[in-house]
Structure 1
Amino acid sequence: MYIRNITRISESDVSMDVLWFDQSDVQSLLDMHSTIEAVENGFRQHGLKKVQMPPKSYLYFQKYNGDLRTMPVYIEEEDIAGVKIVNVHPDNHQKGLPTVMAVIVLNSTQTGAPLAIMDGTFITDMRTGAAGGVAAKYLARKDSHIVGMVGVGDQARTQLLALSQVMDIQKVKLFCRNMSHCDHFEKDMSHLMSCEFLKKDKIKDVCDCDILVTTTPVREPIVMSEWIKEGTHINAIGADAKGKEELDPQLLLRAKVIVDDMVQASHSGEVNVPLLNGIITQKQIYCELGEVVCGIHPGRQSDDEITIFDSTGLAVQDIVTANMIYKKALEHGMGQSIRMF
């Protein structure tokens, strides 16, 4: 879409126009390389404590097996603010809808007025994948070439795409309960990267890799500690709400665990159940990823370490990415201007 009047609306105008970007607009302006750059900077700002970001809040719709989340943030040094509203409804595929749908609003820090509203579904996929890429850049062994993937849904695609930006992938091992989904995944991703895809019928076999990516919605561990060899890096993506966990808690005790945000991960990340059950304590969590990115703490320190990135998804990732899209759109005269009042 194109703006009816490409001149940016002055915040002093009596009337108020907002730019709207649908998913096709967002997709045309967003690529993985630039998303990783934006998200890495977002983590850096978070690590430097230059971000106001309360933990995401949840509304639970138990009779519909879904939830709705709000995620506000103010990035002080960048002087940008906004909020994402996002759902997770695992049964949506039966209705022909995405499991995750989102809307992002960017707000003026001077007046609070909305500057832009955009589809956040594609941004959510891309920025979560980018976070996995950033984590691997700082935490995986430099000689990592083999990726194992437990789960091959939409999020697995952007995770693998991001990893391909930061490492030389030679083999990808795939596991899914429905093996036909692995076939679709291979077909889609083989157009984007040149590597060997290997379908496995046991999770254990996928775990024999350099970087393991888990993107499932399970509430009981499916990756056992004894399957993970020294030197492995794990991007644990699936646990993003209270009660979810993909990894054997004993594995956390063997590993250097890095979370995206300590408060948020404690109540909705991979560490939330082990913390609740007293298997681990917050003192056993190494640090936040942003603290590694900005140099406060070192990342991987030996080839023998097992490292785990516990990703819950942060508002700062969404808003730095949305702001990048907004700036590009202004440069190219894209978007649709909508009069609010």
Structure 2
Amino acid sequence: MLYLSRKDVESLGISMKEIISVVEAGLREKGYGMVEMPPKPGIHPRPDSFIHAMPAYLKGMDLAGIKWVAGYPENRKKGLPYITGLFILNDPDTGIPLSVMDASWITAMRTGAVTAISAKYLARKESKTLGIIGCGVQGRSNAEALSAIFDLSEIRAYDVNPDAAEKYRKEIKFKLGIDVNVMKSPREVVEGSDIVVTAGPILKDPKPVIEAEWFKNGGFAAPLDFDSYWKPSAMHSMDKFVTDDKNQLMYYKSIGYFREIPEVYAELDEIVVGKKPGRESDSERIMAMNLGLAIHDVVVADLIYRKAREMGIGTELEL
């Protein structure tokens, strides 16, 4: 089988637009009922940590695989990444692993891609200002993905660590050529932003701060950190509340997350395939609570595997 390290994966030069394309194709598969994807089981060895198993099979694309992914908020204090993991891509005919690869890059990039796809259908087309709360890996990948869909003129950024926010400002300005203004509070980010992405750690007992009145009419919100930043009143102020998988949302609710969330209007794939309308007016306030689906990881891992084979990158290992 082919082993691909983080360095191998990054060396392939896969663009965000390529990732958005395959992730949207995977969502169409789900929208047409062509996927097998059980709600992800997980273990929680430390407070607010998780290690999840995420298997999926896409019937139309004939792709199978599983991600074993961990999220440890306290890792940052140890100089380690919050998200780590491995992905195994299997041969659907035999079940034999074709490849084992780093999953942290996949997780970051496909999460940004899903936000961009959600915004494509749910944000106003003329959205110009992006608000980012949490200037880590996801804050970067989501800015990159959204800039591939929208003509952004400003990014408003906030992080509990001012140094992280300043580093983010410099990196994003250099990479994307978009002006980044560092704000002193979450409120300054939310007020006036057309699109708001919150990317802090996922907390089982959050202390949310975002108020309903901060969020503008016509805005689109994508919380990557569940309900860690958004007060229940803010979430209930939305005209549409969308998720990527209702069964998965209910599973999380059953184990103590999402105690006060609105009724789900639609799953994202239903909107992508046209079963339900997305944004219907410029005044709608819409939130997409995407939890992360295994199908996204599978389609991106397949893209990585095919490119690696074409370019002769990776290490062959005995099973």
Q: TM-score range by the shorter chain?
A: over 0.9
Tell whether 2:279 aligns with 1:295: no
Q: Within 2, Cα distance between the matches of 1:204 and 1:268? A: 27
Instruction: Give runs of aligned pairs for residues 1-341 of structure 1, distance below 5 A.
Output: 18-29=1-12, 30-62=14-46, 66-208=49-191, 209-217=193-201, 218=203, 219-239=206-226, 245-255=228-238, 256-268=240-252, 273-274=257-258, 276-277=259-260, 280=262, 284-340=263-319
Q: Deviations over 1:237-258 (max 9, x none)?
A: 112xxxx532121222221011
Q: Deviations over 1:77-110 (max 9, x none)?
A: 0001000000011111222221110100011111
Q: Which amino acid aligns with 1:290?
A: D
Q: Which amino acid aligns with 2:272?
A: V
Q: Within 2, Cα distance between the matches of 1:273 and 1:25? A: 36
Q: Which amino acid aligns with 1:61?
A: P
Number of paired residues? 311
Kindly name which structure, 1 or 2, has the bigger radius of gyration based on alpha carbons. Answer: 1
Equivalent residue for 1:9? Answer: none
Q: Which amino acid aligns with 1:216?
A: G
Q: Within 2, Cα distance between the matches of 1:139 and 1:23? A: 32
Q: Within 2, Cα distance between the matches of 1:308 and 1:314? A: 17
Q: Which runs of 4+ in 1 moved over 3 A?
A: none
How many Å apart are 1:189 and its aligned residue? 0.8
Q: Deviations over 1:201-227 (max 9, x none)?
A: 121111121000101124122211111
How many Å apart are 1:298 and its aligned residue? 1.2
**Contact 1:152 1:215 (8 Å CA) reproduced:** yes
Which is worse superposed, 71-80 or 185-194? 185-194
**Contact 1:268 1:312 (8 Å CA) reproduced:** no
SS in 2 for 1:339: coil
Q: Within 1, Cα distance between the matches of 2:285 and 2:316? A: 49
Q: Deviations over 1:4-30 (max 9, x none)?
A: xxxxxxxxxxxxxx1111111111222
CA-atom RMSD in angstroms? 1.5
Q: Within 1, Cα distance between the matches of 2:94 and 2:228? A: 41
Q: Which amino acid aligns with 1:223?
A: I
Q: Which amino acid aligns with 1:172?
A: I
Q: Within 2, Cα distance between the matches of 1:238 and 1:259? A: 13
SS in 1 for 2:221: strand
In the superposition, the TM-score normalised over structure 1's length comes to 0.88
**Contact 1:245 1:273 (8 Å CA) reproduced:** no
**Contact 1:54 1:72 (8 Å CA) reproduced:** yes
SS in 2 for 1:61: coil
**Contact 2:20 2:113 (8 Å CA) reproduced:** yes
SS in 2 for 1:190: helix
Overall identity of the aligned pairs, in %: 34
Q: Which amino acid aligns with 2:32?
A: L
How many Å apart are 1:181 and its aligned residue? 1.2
Q: Within 1, Cα distance between the matches of 2:144 and 2:250? A: 28
How many Å apart are 1:328 and its aligned residue? 1.3
**Contact 1:231 1:303 (8 Å CA) reproduced:** yes
